[in-house]
């Protein structure tokens, strides 16, 4: 696979209820990314957005955002999954040879819609939805219990992930204020409100408002635009079965298959040794462990044994991860941006030492039914 | 940018949907009306599906509509469960006083799980692997809510 | 970078106003079966990745590609979802093209799927919700919601189409009879297309003109139906396509240039467009796609076209704006049979969107039919040999466009 370069990025500060509107936010992100990279609107050849009609309360949610997203008279399209999937489509457009600069923007404003109710619309309307026993909260409950029962991981070990991510978020100026908890303890997490036993409120990534944008270019152009390009050297994406009853929720089959695809392309044989940091989209603390194991970083059920603090053996989510703020549709793209920052040495306050290769992932669907993972690399 | 919020108009935009369930699910809902469960069996791998499906996802083969139906008992095994403190519908989500135990139950003879409430038991009594049986609604209507829940068997 | 991409097959489900015999996933599986039936040397297990899309507001199901995983044969496979409103089908087809062109390791053969089961919801509500978020600003001006819904009959798809029609009529001087003629040609063509919805082999211009107006100049008899249906296309490499079919269809140019501008906008910016029949984005998309395909004189070099016209005035507008005919001559082409089945440049021999409109599928059905015409496998196959064809899609509020230029020979430069 030819290298594709990330040449710029911008993420707005996450708020649980931002005091400005959708179009201003989109403009801030896309214009911000272009300005930081020293590029102009007319350099843009293609724009891929990622929004969700149900979250935005608008059919064709990209239609009115064409102007603010920089897509006026540009070749534009929209992926309706996670921002990390929109990046995939942008990457495909670059790899085809048809385009020289792709703008990817993604996100939504969770303050404008009832998040958990809206997630119900994903469920099978002929079977699960009339009873609504399957929703994003109960699904997490099933997933956490399945993981704990199968591997004997206890709630404290899972709560430690929540503590870590919220502590990390407190060092990330762009993270959600409510998620910035530098002095949180495991006990605090285990005493927080129960969502769906055994999942507690402080373990869950809270939906919020936010938009992020990222710029991609082919190798030749990337080297001209910036002296710190970050290369995408591998990508993998995969979707597993839909019904929760069809799946083994204690592991993530789709992340296993996606990571195999990415590792093969990027020629990664031993991710634990070769990768320096991972920014993965975890919708709850236990999911970070499940995904970590699916990435092959540890054996199944042994996730807690790998220290993933910023100065630990294998740092995961130094930015706070999705627990640091989850703007629906934007979270995956923000993980890519955070991994990019780590490679460029721009993660002020939560920088991991000597990062050359990183993993970044996004997901969509109940219990991460569809995962996408990128291998990013620095160097010219 | 102003801090004042002026509510000029408040209203609900109604959008009704009615879903075609397809012939396979139809057969299941017909069985529900008689307080019975049916599944169908993949001709290749032998997995039995509740609810019945046109396609086996593992094998990617079509299960013909006129064949491979399996009558199943009203009993099953608990594979997983959670206890939810929130009730969610298509408009709001709110905390409820009495938490609900939701279980993933594999009907005996099938290879998939269905998700319903566990009734008449306390959270401490719930154990993965326990035997359960269906409690039907008094007057089933031929839709998913006909299964009121599962109780100890 | 990149490589040649070919279309090896395309398939359809039966379209009808109510496909009450199937659930949405089952409807999709029908189109996939029809697509794979034409390439018996491969099976669903040989598909490396999927691209899926529809317009989710119509069925009340968000991201339904998750639910229908097994019905598409996509379990444990890579899958991407693209939705862009009315152009969704075309965007998904373009997504299918890019997935192959990107040359990701192991991703060579793609199934692109577009679908809609509109009978499950309310089409007007689904269309109107494009603008609810924007027109709510009118509430703050004192216009109540009830009054807004009345405006919808002058807005939404029918409204935009009426503005396009009156603007187009002003510059081209066509008559309502010209509009009816386009409808009649489409409905006659649909009668010979097995999967189409409104099959009307005996429809006359007089029949159409007798129906009442919805919004001048568009009459009930002129507008597209709301259909349930699905479409699937198989994209793959040049090598594999040659193994799968006799005439692989090369995708030589794609474009989806948007010139959507905020009609009302968050701050009432009112950047809107005065002439909705100008379609700058369509002209740019055509320029881009034709440029990639190395086509300089579309009128001479294109043998067949499927353009996206739920309303007859749009068919006339598109074939001019896309460069197939001179300005203001389109209606003449219908009168003199140039665009008929056995004409010089046949248009919409499937009956077009005017006869079948399952919104998530319809913009895919245009390149799908165009590809089948090149292969010689279309339901209503034109008698002449089709070498180069285009499939076009339209949607958004006023101007989201998709264009795909295809041919039986590769003309796109790969460097």
What are the pLDDT digits (tens) for C182-207?
Answer: 999 999 999 999 999 999 999 999 99
Q: Pick C60's closest partner by Cβ from B17, B23, B57.
A: B17
Q: Domain limits of chain C?
A: 5-122+224-407
A370-377 β-sheet, strand order: A75-79, A46-50, A102-109, A209-218, A4-11, A230-239, A370-377, A357-364, A277-279
Instruction: List the single residue in A with minimal CA-CA distance to B5.
Output: A19
Instruction: Kindly give, in sequence order, each residue whose CB lies less than 8 Å from that of residue A44, ignoring residues fewer than 6 positions away.
Output: A34, A70, A71, A74, A101, A102, A103
Instruction: Kindly give, in sequence order, each residue whose CB lies less than 8 Å from that of residue C353, ignoring residues fewer than 6 positions away.
Output: C224, C308, C309, C310, C362, C365, C366
Q: Is residue B32 part of a domain?
A: yes
> Cβ of A77 and C292 within 8 Å?
no
Instruction: List the single residue in B with minimal CA-CA distance to C18.
Output: B20
The CATH number for B29's domain is 2.40.50.140
Q: What is the pLDDT of residue C348?
A: 97
Q: Pick A117's closest partner by Cβ from B88, B143, B144.
A: B88
Q: What is the pLDDT of residue C266?
A: 47
8 Å CB contact between A254 and A370: yes
Angle at A126 between CA A120 and CA A127, to 5 degrees: 75
- d(CA A129, nearest CA chain B) in Å: 9
Tell me the chain B residues in contact with residue A120 when contact means C-beta distances shorter than 8 Å: 88-90
> Cβ of B16 and C122 within 8 Å?
yes
Q: Is residue B105 part of a domain?
A: yes
- d(CA B75, nearest CA chain C) in Å: 26
How far apart CA B135 and CA B146 sit, in angstroms, is 9
Could you say which residues from 97 to 156 on chain C have a Cβ atom under 8 Å away from some Cβ of chain A?
Answer: 98-99, 101-106, 126-127, 129-134
Tell me the chain A residues in contact with residue C99 when contact means C-beta distances shorter than 8 Å: 92
**What sign for the dihedral angle of Cα C115, C121, C126, C128?**
positive
Give the CATH number of domain C5-122+224-407: 3.40.47.10
- The mean pLDDT value for B82-96 works out to 85
> Cβ of B86 and A116 within 8 Å?
yes
How far apart CA C349 and CA A201 sit, in angstroms, is 58
The token pair at C208 is 């159409």
8 Å CB contact between A179 and A16: no
How far apart CA A212 and CA A13 sit, in angstroms, is 9
Q: Is residue B28 part of a domain?
A: yes
How far apart CA C382 and CA A202 sit, in angstroms, is 64
Q: For testing the chain B interface, which of A142, A146, A192, A200 should be mutated: the one with the most B CBs within 10 Å?
A: A142
Domains (ranges, CATH) in chain A?
A: 4-114+208-225 (3.40.47.10)
Residue B84, helix vs strand vs coil: strand
Q: Is residue B16 part of a domain?
A: no
The token pair at B44 is 């290749």
Q: Pick A1's closest partner by Cβ from C105, C126, C255.
A: C105
Q: Pick A59's closest partner by Cβ from C104, C129, C414.
A: C129
> Cβ of B83 and A197 within 8 Å?
yes
Residue A121 to residues A134, A171, C117, C127, Cα–Cα distance (Å) = 11, 35, 16, 18
At B11, is the pLDDT very low, low, confident or very high (cuts 50, 70, 90)? low
Q: Is residue B6 part of a domain?
A: no
Q: What is the pLDDT of residue A67?
A: 87
Q: Is residue B12 part of a domain?
A: no
C-alpha A321: how far from chain center: 8
> Cβ of B9 and C24 within 8 Å?
no
Tell me the chain C residues in contact with residue B54 when contact means C-beta distances shorter than 8 Å: 25-26, 29, 71
Q: What is the pLDDT of residue C398?
A: 79
**What sign for the dihedral angle of Cα C81, A65, C262, C151?**
positive
Instruction: Kindly give, in sequence order, each residue whose CB lies less than 8 Å from that of residue C361, ignoring residues fewer than 6 positions away.
Output: C12, C15, C31, C54, C89, C114, C115, C116, C229, C230, C231
Q: Is residue B119 part of a domain?
A: yes
Q: Pick A128's closest partner by Cβ from B22, B57, B115.
A: B115
Burial bucket for residue C142 (CB in 10 Å: 0-12, 13-18, 19+) = exposed
The token pair at C65 is 């590609």
Checking phi first, is residue A232 left (phi over 0); if not, alpha (psi -120 to 50) or beta? beta
Instruction: List the single residue in C with minimal CA-CA distance to B19.
Output: C120
Residues of chain A with pLDDT under 50: none
**What sign for the dihedral angle of Cα C175, C181, C183, C184?**
positive
* Domain extent at residue B125: 22-152
Q: Is residue B7 part of a domain?
A: no
8 Å CB contact between A46 and A215: no
- What pTM value is reported for the model? 0.96
Burial bucket for residue C294 (CB in 10 Å: 0-12, 13-18, 19+) = middle
The total domain count for chain B is 1
Tell me the chain B residues in contact with residue C145 when contact means C-beta distances shorter than 8 Å: 9, 11, 13
> Cβ of B15 and C125 within 8 Å?
yes
Q: What is the pLDDT of residue C227?
A: 94
> Cβ of B19 and C23 within 8 Å?
yes
Residues of chain C with pLDDT under 70: 136-137, 139-140, 145, 148-156, 262-272
The token pair at B21 is 């369930």
- d(CA B127, nearest CA chain C) in Å: 29
Q: What is the pLDDT of residue B6?
A: 65
Cβ-Cβ contacts under 8 Å between B and C: the total is: 76
> Cβ of A134 and B115 within 8 Å?
yes
At B125, is the pLDDT very low, low, confident or very high (cuts 50, 70, 90)? very high
Is there a cis peptide before residue C23, judged by omega within 30 degrees of 0? no
Sequence length of chain B is: 153
Sequence length of chain A is: 380
8 Å CB contact between B35 and A141: no
What are the φ/ψ torsions at residue C156 (nearest 5 degrees)?
55, -165
Q: What is the pLDDT of residue C151?
A: 65
Q: For testing the chain C interface, which of B2, B4, B5, B8 should be mutated: the one with the most C CBs within 10 Å?
A: B8
Q: Pick B102's closest partner by Cβ from A114, A133, A241.
A: A133
């Amino acid at each position: 696979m030819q290298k594709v370069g990330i040449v710029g990025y911008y993420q707005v500060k996450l708020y649980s209820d931002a005091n400005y509107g959708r179009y201003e936010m989109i403009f801030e992100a896309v214009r911000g990314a272009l300005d930081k990279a020293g590029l102009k609107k007319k350099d843009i050849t293609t724009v891929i957005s990622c929004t969700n009609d149900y979250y935005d309360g608008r059919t064709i949610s990209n239609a009115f955002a064409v102007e603010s997203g920089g897509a006026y008279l540009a070749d534009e399209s929209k992926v309706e999954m996670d921002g990390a999937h929109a990046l995939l489509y942008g990457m495909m457009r670059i790899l085809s040879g048809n385009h020289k600069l792709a703008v990817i923007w993604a996100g939504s404003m969770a303050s404008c819609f009832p998040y958990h109710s809206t997630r119900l619309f994903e469920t099978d309307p002929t079977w699960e939805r009339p009873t609504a026993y399957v929703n994003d909260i109960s699904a997490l409950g099933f997933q956490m219990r399945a993981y704990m029962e199968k591997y004997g991981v206890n709630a404290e070990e899972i709560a430690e992930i929540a503590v870590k991510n919220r502590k990390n978020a407190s060092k990330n100026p762009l993270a959600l204020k409510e998620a910035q908890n530098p002095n949180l303890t495991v006990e605090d997490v285990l005493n927080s409100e129960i969502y769906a036993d055994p999942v507690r409120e402080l373990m869950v990534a809270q939906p919020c408002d936010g938009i992020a944008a990222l710029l991609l270019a082919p190798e030749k152009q990337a080297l001209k635009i910036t002296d710190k390009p970050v290369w995408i050297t591998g990508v993998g994406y995969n979707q597993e079965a839909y019904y929760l009853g069809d799946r083994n929720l204690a592991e993530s089959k789709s992340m296993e298959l996606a990571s195999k695809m990415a590792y093969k392309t990027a020629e990664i044989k031993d991710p634990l040794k070769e990768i320096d940091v991972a920014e993965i989209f975890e919708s709850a603390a236990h999911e970070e462990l499940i995904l970590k194991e699916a990435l092959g970083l540890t054996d199944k059920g042994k996730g807690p044994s790998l220290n993933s603090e910023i100065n630990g053996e294998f740092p995961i989510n130094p930015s706070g991860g999705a627990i640091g703020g989850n703007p629906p549709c934007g979270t995956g793209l923000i993980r890519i941006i955070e991994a990019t920052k780590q490679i460029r040495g721009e993660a002020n306050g939560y920088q991991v030492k000597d990062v050359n290769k990183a993993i970044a992932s996004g997901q969509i669907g109940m219990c991460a039914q569809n995962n996408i993972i990128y291998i990013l690399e620095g160097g010219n | 940018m102003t801090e004042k919020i002026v509510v000029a108009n408040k209203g609900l935009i109604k959008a009704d949907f009615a879903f075609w369930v397809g012939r396979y699910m139809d057969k299941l809902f017909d069985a529900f009306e008689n307080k019975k469960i049916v599944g169908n069996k993949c001709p290749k791998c032998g997995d039995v599906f509740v609810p019945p499906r046109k396609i086996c996802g593992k094998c990617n083969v079509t299960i013909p509509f006129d064949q491979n139906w399996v009558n199943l008992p009203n009993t099953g095994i608990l594979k997983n469960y959670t206890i939810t403190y929130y009730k969610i519908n298509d408009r709001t989500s709110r905390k409820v006083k009495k938490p609900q135990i939701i279980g993933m139950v594999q009907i005996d003879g099938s290879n998939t799980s269905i998700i319903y409430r566990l009734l008449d038991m306390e959270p401490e009594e719930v154990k993965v692997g326990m035997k359960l049986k269906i409690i039907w609604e008094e007057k089933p209507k031929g839709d998913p809510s006909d299964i009121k829940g599962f109780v100890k068997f | 970078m990149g490589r040649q991409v070919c279309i090896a097959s395309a398939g359809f489900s039966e379209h009808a106003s109510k496909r009450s015999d199937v659930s949405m996933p089952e409807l999709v599986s029908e189109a996939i079966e029809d697509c794979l039936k034409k390439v018996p040397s491969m099976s669903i297990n040989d598909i490396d990745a999927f691209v899926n899309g529809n317009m989710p507001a119509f069925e009340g199901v968000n991201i339904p590609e998750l639910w229908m995983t097994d019905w598409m044969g996509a379990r444990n496979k890579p899958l991407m979802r693209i939705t862009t409103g009315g152009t969704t089908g075309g965007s998904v087809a373009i997504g299918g093209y890019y997935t192959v062109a990107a040359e990701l390791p192991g991703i060579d053969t793609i199934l692109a799927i577009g679908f809609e089961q509109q009978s499950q919801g309310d089409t007007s509500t689904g269309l109107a919700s494009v603008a609810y978020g924007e027109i709510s600003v009118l509430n703050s001006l004192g216009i109540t919601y009830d009054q807004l819904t009345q405006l919808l009959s002058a807005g939404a798809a029918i409204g935009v189409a009426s503005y396009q029609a009156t603007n187009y009529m002003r510059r081209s001087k066509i008559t309502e009879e010209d509009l009816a003629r386009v409808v009649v040609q489409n409905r006659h063509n649909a009668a010979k297309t097995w999967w189409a919805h409104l099959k009307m082999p005996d429809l006359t211009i007089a029949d159409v003109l007798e129906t009442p107006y919805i919004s001048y100049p568009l009459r009930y008899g002129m507008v597209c139906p709301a259909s349930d249906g699905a479409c699937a296309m198989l994209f793959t490499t040049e090598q594999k396509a040659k193994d799968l079919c006799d005439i692989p269809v090369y995708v030589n140019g794609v474009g989806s240039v948007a010139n959507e501008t905020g009609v009302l906008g968050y701050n009432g910016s009112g950047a809107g467009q005065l002439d909705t029949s100008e379609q700058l984005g369509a002209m740019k998309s055509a320029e881009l796609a034709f440029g990639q395909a190395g086509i300089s004189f579309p009128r001479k070099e294109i043998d067949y076209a499927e353009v996206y016209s739920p309303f007859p005035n749009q068919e006339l507008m598109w074939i001019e704006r896309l460069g197939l005919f001179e300005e203001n001559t389109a209606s003449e082409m219908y009168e003199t049979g140039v665009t008929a089945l056995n004409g010089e440049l046949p248009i919409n021999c499937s009956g077009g969107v005017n006869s079948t409109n399952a919104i998530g599928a319809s913009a895919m059905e245009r390149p799908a039919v165009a590809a089948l015409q090149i292969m010689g496998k279309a339901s209503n196959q034109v008698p002449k040999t089709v070498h180069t064809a285009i499939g076009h899609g339209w949607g958004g509020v006023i101007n989201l466009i998709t264009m795909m230029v295809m041919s039986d020979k590769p003309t796109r430069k790969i460097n």
